[in-house]
Amino acid sequence: MTSVSGIMPTGRLTLGNHLGALRRFTDPNGFYFVANLHAMTMRHVPRRLAELTRETATLMLAAGSPEGTVFVQSEVPAHVQLGYLLECTSYVGELSRMIQYKEKGRDKPMTRVSLFTYPCLMAADILLYGTDRVPVGDDQDQHVELARDVAIRFNREYGETFVVPELAKAAFATRIKDLQTPTAKMSKSDVDDAIGTIRLLDPPDVIRRQVMKAKTDSENVVRYDPSGKPGVTNLLEILAACTDGDPEELAKGYQGYGDLKTDVADAVLSVIEPLQRRYAVLASDPATVDAMLIAGRDRAIEASAPLLLSASTAMGLGTGR
Ligand code: AQP
* Other beta carbons within 10 Å of 5: 24
- The best mutation among 187, 197, 200, 242 to test binding of ligand 1, ranked by most ligand atoms within 8 Å of the C-beta, falls on 187
Which residue, judged by its Cα, is nearest atom 23 of ligand 1?
187
Residue 174 has pLDDT above 80, yes or no: no
Query: Which pairing describes strands 31-34 and 69-72: parallel, antiparallel, or unpaired?
Result: parallel
93 CA to middle of ligand 1, Å?
25
Average pLDDT over every residue of 193-204: 95
Residue 100 Cα to chain centre, angstroms:
15
Atom of ligand 1 nearest to the CA of 189: 29
- How much of the chain exceeds pLDDT 70, in percent? 96
Question: Phi and psi (nearest 5°) for 220?
Answer: 55, 35
The domain at 172-284 falls in which architecture? Orthogonal Bundle (1.10)
Which residue, judged by its Cα, is nearest atom 34 of ligand 1?
137
Question: Phi and psi (nearest 5°) for 168?
Answer: -105, 115
DSSP code for 77: T
H-run or E-run covering 305: helix 286-314
Digit-coded pLDDT (tens) for 120-166: 999 999 999 998 877 665 677 888 899 999 999 999 999 999 999 88
C-alpha angle 242-5-92 in degrees, rounded to nearest 5: 125
Name the residue among 48, 59, 84 with its Cα closest to residue 7: 59
> What was the pLDDT predicted at 229?
96
Residue 24 has pLDDT above 90, yes or no: no
CATH number for the region 4-170+286-314 comes to 3.40.50.620
185 CA to middle of ligand 1, Å?
9
Which residue, judged by its Cα, is nearest atom 12 of ligand 1?
17
Sign of dihedral through CA atoms 150, 172, 37, 104? positive
Domain ranges in the chain are 4-170+286-314, 172-284
Digit-coded pLDDT (tens) for 43-64: 999 999 999 999 999 999 999 8
pLDDT band of residue 20 (cuts 50, 70, 90) is: confident
Mean pLDDT of the chain: 93
**Dist. CA 226–CA 221, nearest whole Å:** 14
> What was the pLDDT predicted at 173?
46
- How much of the chain exceeds pLDDT 90, in percent? 81
Which residue, judged by its Cα, is nearest atom 33 of ligand 1?
136
H-run or E-run covering 308: helix 286-314
16 CA to middle of ligand 1, Å?
7
Q: Is 292 in the pocket of ligand 1 (CB under 6 A)?
A: no
Average pLDDT over every residue of 202-209: 98
Name the residue among 143, 169, 10 with its Cα closest to residue 83: 143
Question: 126-140, 179-193, 302-316: which has the minimum mean pLDDT?
Answer: 126-140
The set of catalytic residues is 104, 185, 188
pLDDT band of residue 171 (cuts 50, 70, 90) is: low
**What does the chain come to in residues?**
321
Residue 321 has pLDDT above 90, yes or no: no
Digit-coded pLDDT (tens) for 259-299: 999 999 999 999 999 999 999 999 999 999 999 999 999 99
Q: Can you tell me the ipTM of this complex? A: 0.97
Q: Residues 75, 297: contact at Cβ < 8 Å?
A: yes
Residue 172 has pLDDT above 60, yes or no: no
**Dist. CA 167–CA 86, nearest whole Å:** 20
DSSP, residue by residue, 8-52: --SSS-BHHHHHHTGGG---TT-EEEE-TGGGGSS---HHHHHHH
pLDDT band of residue 1 (cuts 50, 70, 90) is: low
